[in-house]
Structure 1
């Protein structure tokens, strides 16, 4: 008899546990929900159970029934930025989420230059921590985790920004959020999902990599490491897929260093990744990337070729790129310490392109076309309507010019308002020009708006590959 009663008690406890409403980590007190949108709310409950959801901003109650898979999901409309608000979920149990803000939500992802934080004693972050308390910035940091299959939840929690909660959080992500919050004067939620060393393949659904012969071949060439995964899809499944029910305004991306040795496929890979993210989020959100910084790679040209691929990736709709060739204190350190200015350029890009604020020019000058005039090459650019200027010196650096023999020589440079003219006594009939096209180049030519000219080359000649320069 006692055994039977114990069994009934266990069944009662288990039945009650299974009937409880449960929420994913993203839906929690202190979160920021995307303003003026139909945001998803979702979770788990016993099959057939009705979940009642009340939002305090309109005191409206919606209901949804859990499916046979014990899952439920619905959308609610959010107002303009504001708060704090509450959301109450009622089923067999009641969950009340508090201190919820409505504002703008961004994802920041990539490898170490996005992930780095106070954990690496970055001077800017160490200085920032004591003065970082801001209840209008909320942080959600996804820890490094992998999975062979897409996951529906992630171990993380929303935190109000402050000296303790900011420890270990992405410096670029934080400074980006801080500038948006100050300029827009509304709450900002920033979700960090980054992992040092990871190639872009791990952030892309594995079937999209393995089913493409070029992407698969490149992925197989990436060297394994004990410090990070190189398995296609592994970080996407565990660190990105669980976020995709959560409405966002956009994403920022700082990655590429680990793809330098397979640079030829990077633009295609990034297109595949961005398209897959947007498809899963069902949102063609803006995607702004950081061009990798100058660095003393051990293979010739691989940094230059990766930057070229990042520029090519701008053909993806609704993307932008910030150039940081001038924000490097040491080209022998792959982790530039200046994260504030990187974040500021990303934030200005978002403020201009996403929020349509007037913040000045946000695009670096980009090569448009070249004309040959006798022994000179005349270069034209986008995003340089006010002309060019030389920083740190009197001569423009890092321009190279070549004729049909494909031998490049340092060029003499003349800056004019709407063009740059280059020539060399060694090149009688110019055919090609390269600018900043090397691993470590830190060129000194800027737009008068203060942004560095993006590295480029006008030719498509074969460039020595890593294997050829070993």
Structure 2
């Protein structure tokens, strides 16, 4: 656990103790619940706690139109020491108080959309460790105090599943105008919620559950690992199989969610790399299914957003990051796709950060770029706003034109593009073998760079790549930005959409006939 998280434990101990986690007339709430929280709109939500509870819960609300309502809710005792109650369904902006006893209440609860954010250290990277952090935190206090709220689970791993485990909270629910709390909140998670709120005006509840340096296997249930034939790992730390699923995801399956956000994969670059195209899609389906079965309010096809791995070491020819990025899309290149339905992504390969230490390097400070692109795609996939793009220009047709002893590859894209002639690189690579064989091993040295003068934009949606510098083109393959760190300048990849969003083209590769 980092120094910032240890400090946070001290700062917020009194806050955590002040809300419903301590005993009140013989019953307690699960630690997830506290004042100022967000419940998922449009569905039933489950509130649960501990003890023997034989009284009714009063749900008193002010509806969106100002009408006041009150309703008694009957809890059920699900085990000797665990009770739960299902709340009424309400639209966004409904504000409620839940009274359990004279001294135990949940107040200033608002209905909106709830997102679960997870992964490793780039999701964990907090608001005080990004570019322009002071300005961002001040802006949040001024403009988003009501509309964006957040909470964060403490780092806990468990070797066994316990559906009734009362997980600790790193941050109890807080509003965006609590600047001290916001310093310690996941930046990608919060900034995504802020961007979504700007467009939809639906209150956003952002729940953070992450752990730096962790692998996808730790966040997966045994069902996922069995389905993908993952070799067993029970090494006793936070990277052992299933332990973060057990400790940080399974205990909150009763929570109704709008969807999920994920930023992880660095730790799998050299660990079960070539299983990631199974484990990651399988984990998505497993989380969706289990939340939908237990919470009752999470959709089986709940939207799932992720961030492709950002740049790290300049001039690296290691293959871990390029291959993981490909596997993050189930080897298709874009999402959503037939194997990853209702999934969306952000591609931040133009956010290289030369700063040494933390933040910087593998933890780029430019999380605003990541979150903006993720929100664009989320507005399309999760909210049906099709004017927002899911990704940058992407090839829909590849043709080869033979010219004596060489080949020109013509790529037709699905939207208008800008090819930046002043970018550091052409962006294109050629390999004389199949794309799969070119990625075998730990290096991308089989992928040879195509010189800039060999690439041209011929019209608004077409780029040609002249392969006359290479031999044995037939049976080879072509790839785009197939490096750990393709470029070192912000916003300087070769291809972006020619519109207001300027979304970058994500990595792709194709076999040549």
What TM-score do you get using the length of structure 2 for normalisation? Answer: 0.77
- Indicate if the aligned counterparts of 2:76 and 2:85 stay in contact, CA closer than 8 A: no
Please say which of residues 367-376 and 95-104 is displaced more in the overlay: 367-376
Q: In structure 1, what is the equivalent of residue 260 of structure 2?
A: 251
Q: Deviations over 1:88-133 (max 9, x none)?
A: 225xx762211111111111111111101145x4333233233432
| From 314, 320, 329, the counterpart of 1:311 | 329
Deviation at 1:299, TM superposition (A): 6.5
Q: In structure 1, what is the equivalent of residue 100 of structure 2?
A: 89
Matched, 1:455 2:507: yes
Q: In structure 2, what is the equivalent of residue 75 of structure 1?
A: 86
Deviation at 1:278, TM superposition (A): 0.9
| From 23, 30, 34, the counterpart of 1:24 | 30
**Which whole-Å CA distance do the structure 1 matches of 2:217 and 2:393 have between them?**
29
Matched, 1:52 2:45: no
Correspondences of 1:152-171 after superposition (within 5 Å): 152=164, 153-156=166-169, 157-161=172-176, 162-171=178-187
Q: In structure 2, what is the equivalent of residue 343 of structure 1?
A: 371
Q: In structure 2, what is the equivalent of residue 208 of structure 1?
A: 224
Distance 1:419 1:396, change over 3 A: farther
Deviation at 1:85, TM superposition (A): 1.6
For structure 2, list consecutive stretches of 5 or more residues without a partner in the other structure: 1-22, 62-68, 293-298, 439-445, 488-492
**Which whole-Å CA distance do the structure 2 matches of 1:190 and 1:213 have between them?**
30
**Which whole-Å CA distance do the structure 1 matches of 2:424 and 2:136 have between them?**
37
- Indicate if the aligned counterparts of 1:117 and 1:125 stay in contact, CA closer than 8 A: no
**Which whole-Å CA distance do the structure 2 matches of 1:309 and 1:246 have between them?**
29
Matched, 1:127 2:179: no
Q: In structure 1, what is the equivalent of residue 296 of structure 2?
A: none
**Which whole-Å CA distance do the structure 1 matches of 2:426 and 2:126 have between them?**
33
The Cα RMSD (Å) is 2.9
Deviation at 1:394, TM superposition (A): 6.7
Correspondences of 1:401-412 after superposition (within 5 Å): 401-402=430-431, 408=448, 410=450, 412=454
Q: Deviations over 1:159-195 (max 9, x none)?
A: 2222111121111111111112222223211101111
Distance 1:460 1:245, change over 3 A: farther
Q: In structure 1, what is the equivalent of residue 114 of structure 2?
A: 105
Deviation at 1:331, TM superposition (A): 9.3
**Which whole-Å CA distance do the structure 1 matches of 2:512 and 2:282 have between them?**
23
Matched, 1:379 2:426: no
Specify the structure having the higher radius of gyration (Cα). 1
Q: Deviations over 1:422-443 (max 9, x none)?
A: 1122346554211111222133
| From 28, 40, 44, the counterpart of 1:38 | 44
For structure 1, list consecutive stretches of 5 or more residues without a partner in the other structure: 1-16, 462-470
- Indicate if the aligned counterparts of 2:393 and 2:415 stay in contact, CA closer than 8 A: no
What TM-score do you get using the length of structure 1 for normalisation? Answer: 0.83
| From 435, 441, 445, the counterpart of 2:495 | 445
**Which whole-Å CA distance do the structure 2 matches of 1:325 and 1:435 have between them?**
12
